[in-house]
Amino acid sequence: MAETNKKNRKVFTLLDITKSLQSVIRKNYTGQYWVKAEIARLNFYPKSGHCYPDLVHKDKGKIQAEMRSIIWKSDFRRLSQNFREVVKEDLKDGMTILFKATVNFHQKYGLSLNILEIEPAFTLGEMAREKAETIHRLKKEGVFYLNKKLLFPLLPKRIAIISVETSKGYNDFLNIIDNNRWGFKFTHYLFPALLQGDRAIQSISRQLRQIHKLKDYFDLVTIIRGGGGDVGLNSYDDYHLAKQISRFPLPVITGIGHSTNETVVDMVAHANKITPTDLGYFLVDHFYKLSLNIDSLSQRLAGETDNILKHEKERLVGYQNFIHSYVSHFVQNNRNSLDRLSLDLKKETSKRITREQAHLMDHMQKMRTFSKQTIEKEHEHLQHFVRWLDIFTRQTLSNKKAHLESLTSKQRLLDPHHIMKRGYSITTLDGKTLTSSQQLNTGDRIKTFLYDGSFESEIKTINHGKQK
DSSP letter string over 296-349? HHHHHHHHHHHHHHHHHHHHHHHHHHHHHHHHHHHHHHHHHHHHHHHHHHHHHH
CATH architecture of 141-274: 3-Layer(aba) Sandwich (3.40)
In angstroms, rounded to a whole number, what is the distance separating the alpha carbons of residues 374 and 199? 144
CATH architecture of 12-125: Beta Barrel (2.40)
- Report pLDDT for 222: 95
- Report pLDDT for 467: 57
Q: Where are the domains of the chain?
A: 12-125, 141-274, 293-411, 425-468
Within 8 A by CB and 6+ apart from 10, the residues are: 2, 3, 4
- Report pLDDT for 231: 47
pTM (whole model) above 0.85: no
Closest CA to 254 of 277, 210, 223, 285: 223
Q: How, if at all, do strands 110-118 and 62-70 pair?
A: parallel
In angstroms, rounded to a whole number, what is the distance separating the alpha carbons of residues 348 and 71? 143
In angstroms, rounded to a whole number, what is the distance separating the alpha carbons of residues 464 and 468? 12
Helix, strand, or coil (residue 441): coil
Rounded to whole angstroms, what are the CA distances from 456 to 103, 226, 447? 91, 53, 4
In angstroms, rounded to a whole number, what is the distance separating the alpha carbons of residues 460 and 313? 27
Closest CA to 435 of 426, 444, 443: 426
pLDDT tens for the 468 residues of the chain, in order: 455 555 678 888 888 888 888 888 888 888 898 988 988 888 899 999 999 999 988 887 788 898 999 999 989 999 989 888 887 778 887 788 889 999 998 888 888 899 999 888 887 777 778 888 888 999 999 999 999 999 999 889 999 999 998 888 899 999 999 998 888 899 999 999 988 776 888 999 999 999 999 999 999 999 998 655 444 577 888 899 999 999 999 999 998 866 556 889 999 999 988 889 989 999 999 888 887 777 667 777 767 777 788 888 878 877 788 788 777 787 787 787 887 888 888 888 888 888 888 887 777 777 766 667 776 787 788 788 778 888 888 888 888 888 888 877 777 766 667 777 777 788 888 888 888 888 888 888 888 888 788 888 888 888 876 655
